[in-house]
Amino acid sequence: MDNTIIRVEDASVRFNMASEKIDSIKEYFIKLAKRQLMFQEFLALQHITFEVKKGESWGIVGSNGAGKSTLLKLICGVLTPDKGSVMVNGSIAPMIELGAGFDPDLTAEENIYLEGALLGYDKKFMKNHYNRIVAFAELADFMKMPIKNYSSGMQARMAFAIATLVMPDILIVDEVLSVGDAAFQRKCEARIHEMLEGKTTLLFVSHSNDVVKRLCEKAVWLRKGEIAMIGSAEEVCDAYAQYYQ
């Protein structure tokens, strides 16, 4: 029986970038209206192929601009490939952009219900789990505060507590845990291990090879939008570290 939960086949993603210097938004729109804006193509991902089995934990490593976040957005369905295909068989809890679903003008308490609705949970479900979310995030004294006044670390706590409320088929985490303090990072790692024991599949992006080795069995190394290496997390992280020494 095929237990593949994610399959990426020969996927490429290209973006258009303005090829000339634009000094203001006004100038940008004038040139756009006059069809004077010139673009050059940028291949963010090129011919990416790999597959993930249910319950596996995968790290994605690479330098800034290598295509890591683009790959996660492709798997989440935020982006579609220009070539190739992406198959995902299961529910996804994504943590790609810190507080992406939060409304900055609402309180943290209100944002819990908003984020829950975006993830498909009704108000009754979120109310029943409200205390659990607050306890995990350790933010009981700040729930009436607008989320725009939260630090990045506080937002990360809240986002992670909500995203891991239930065990999704796939948990996707993109570097957001790095903004939390060391104690909370360890708490999040422990929670991720619990989810892996429950057969949640993990895709984890981090610049910390040590964390990838602790959390992941396998890894993909991206370099300039292409796969440089696929293998065990230990082997891939060591090769990646050695390449940039």
Average pLDDT rounded to a whole number, residues 203-232: 94
Residue 156 inside a domain? The answer is no
Give 129's contacts (C-beta < 8 A, 6+ positions apart).
165
Is 106 contained in some domain?
no
Per residue in 202-213, pLDDT tens?
Answer: 999 988 899 999
Residue 226 located in a structural domain: yes
Residue whose entry in the numeric block shows the structure tokens 């957005």: 73
Asked if residue 215 is part of any domain, the answer here is yes
pLDDT above 90 (res 12)? yes
Q: How many domains does the chain have?
A: 1
CB atoms within 10 A of CB 197: 10
- Per the domain annotation, does 238 fall within a domain? yes
pLDDT single digits (tens) 126-178 = 999 999 999 999 999 999 999 999 988 888 889 888 888 888 899 998 876 66
Q: Strand pairing partners for 235?
A: none
The helix-helix angle for 152-163 and 108-118 (nearest 10°) equals: 40
Q: Which CATH number do you get for residue 15?
A: 3.40.50.300
234 band by pLDDT with thresholds 50, 70 and 90: very high
Domain assignment present for residue 14? The answer is yes
φ/ψ region of 175 (left if φ > 0, alpha if ψ in -120 to 50, else beta) reads left
Domain membership flag for residue 62: yes
User: pLDDT, tens digit, for every residue of 46-79?
Assistant: 999 999 999 999 999 999 989 998 999 999 888 9
Lowest mean pLDDT among 61-65, 179-183, 187-191: 179-183
Does residue 135 sit within a domain?
A: no
Domain that holds residue 190: 4-91+168-243
